[in-house]
Amino acid sequence: MNDQIKVTGSCHCGKIQVSGKVSEDMVIACHCTDCQQFSGAPFRPVAIIKNEDINIDGEVTEYTKVADSGNERVQGFCGNCGCQIYARATDKSVFNVRTGFLKQHHSLTPKKHIFGKSKVAWIENISKAKWHVAGPESSEMKP
């Protein structure tokens, strides 16, 4: 049995609460074009959690996308604040939970990358960009 991490999180506005447990090796980074489009980010990390290991409270808005293969994936998000919660199988057997809203997301290191064929061209070089501790209004950013 792999080490399991207990996870908890809520959407930005707090209407949806999620808790569950995930095996350390069931965290992946998805670089598919749908993840890029839905998130506006280069990839989405997800924790793959079985139905019996997850609890979701609050009303999740769902959108079903149909892949080129014909596969349906249900995308769950908060209809109020837009926070992305999961993608799930149509039979609800498995939830791919977006790790960004989970409190433990620093511990949820992706163990593999998938859909590398559509990774953004600069993904390998992103750490070379200058790092700032705070945001654009902070003093270190002022000339």
Segment contacting Zn ion (CB under 5 A): 8-16, 18-26, 48-56, 104-112? 8-16
Of 23 and 80, nearer to Zn ion (C-beta) is 80
8-state DSSP, 89: -
**Per-residue b or e along 83-110, where b marks 16 or more CB atoms closer than 10 Å to that residue's CB:** bbbbbbeeeeebbbbbbebbeebeebeb
C-beta neighbour count of 30 within 10 angstroms: 21
* Contact between 39 and Zn ion per CB under 5 A: no
Q: How many residues bind Zn ion (CB under 5 A)?
A: 9
Of 38 and 50, nearer to Zn ion (C-beta) is 38
Give the binding site for Zn ion (CB under 5 A): 11, 13, 15, 30, 32, 35, 78, 80-81
